[in-house]
Structure 1
Amino acid sequence: MSEELTLESLELKKDLDKMTQKELRELCIEKITQITGASGMSKEELLPAIKEVLGIEEEEEPKNPFKEQIVIVKKDIASLREKKTSTTDRTQREILRKKINRLKKRSRRLAAASV
């Protein structure tokens, strides 16, 4: 490519940090050909590589003080989902569904509280 790559020239609809792993891979494959092996990279590997090619300095983002709590809540959600799929009792599934719903709301509130 003869032109210099910039964020403006890529015409992204979302912020790089908010893009999914699939979107970042497609971006690398279609528009940023300097990055090789993008199809096998995770999001944590893709973001720094893309920012390096575009010349973006990595700013120190604030850590979420509730990160550990969010991880615990998400593990609880996963275990409740397993129980929900294994049970045949309709009322028990409904109870588990409501618990999952409450935990999801809680994790979202914890994530939003840090911002």
Structure 2
Amino acid sequence: MSDELTLESLDLKKPLEKMTAKELRELVIEKLPQIKGASGMDKDQLLSEIKELLGIEEEDAKNAYKEHIWALKRQMKDLQSKRLQLGNDKKKERDQLRKQISRLKKRTRRLAAS
């Protein structure tokens, strides 16, 4: 193994964030002996130690959209309560609210994935 560690040199089958704590511990024990105390660490600690060792900057991309996602979820809750308040005779309005809620859900999922 060369002196410089990279993600490519670790030969990972999936991204670090998608790995379980158990998989991360095994990775550290087998390929990154520089990190001590891996057996007592949780997933977040393991990720931060591995990223620090490899020189990967912590990404706050999801945090950038967090407030926007929460605003959309509040809006969905309001629409859901309005939909529940409508009676059975207002099917058209209920369907419109259902479609709006569905669109908002899709937007939140896209923002969370990016």
TM normalised by structure 2 equals 0.56
In 1, Cα distance between equivalents of 2:7 and 2:54: 7
Moved over 4 A (4+): none
Aligned to 2:30: 30
Which secondary structure state, in structure 2, belongs to the residue aligned with residue 35 of structure 1?
coil
Write out aligned runs for 1:63-74 (5 A): 63=63, 64=66, 65-66=69-70
Larger proportion of helix: 2
Identify if the C-alpha distance between structure 1 residues 21 and 110 changes in structure 2 by more than 3 Å, giving closer, same or farther: farther
Post-superposition Cα deviations, 1:58-99, rounded to whole Å, max 9, x if no partner, equal 121223435xx7xxxxxxxxxxxxxxxxxxxxxxxxxxxxxx
Amino acid at match of 2:32: I
Q: CA RMSD in A?
A: 2.4
1:40 and 2:40 equivalent? yes
Identify if the C-alpha distance between structure 1 residues 37 and 58 changes in structure 2 by more than 3 Å, giving closer, same or farther: same
1:112 and 2:83 equivalent? no
TM normalised by structure 1 equals 0.56
In 1, Cα distance between equivalents of 2:42 and 2:108: 22
Amino acid at match of 1:112: R
In 1, Cα distance between equivalents of 2:45 and 2:30: 18
- Where structure 2 has 5 or more consecutive residues not aligned to the other structure, the ranges are 74-105
In 1, Cα distance between equivalents of 2:13 and 2:29: 17
Amino acid at match of 1:42: D
Identify if the C-alpha distance between structure 1 residues 61 and 8 changes in structure 2 by more than 3 Å, giving closer, same or farther: same
Aligned to 2:52: 52
1:17 and 2:14 equivalent? no
Which secondary structure state, in structure 1, belongs to the residue aligned with residue 62 of structure 2?
coil
In 2, Cα distance between equivalents of 1:44 and 1:61: 16
Identify if the C-alpha distance between structure 1 residues 2 and 21 changes in structure 2 by more than 3 Å, giving closer, same or farther: same
In 2, Cα distance between equivalents of 1:31 and 1:113: 34
**How many residues matched?**
75
Shift of 1:37: 0.3
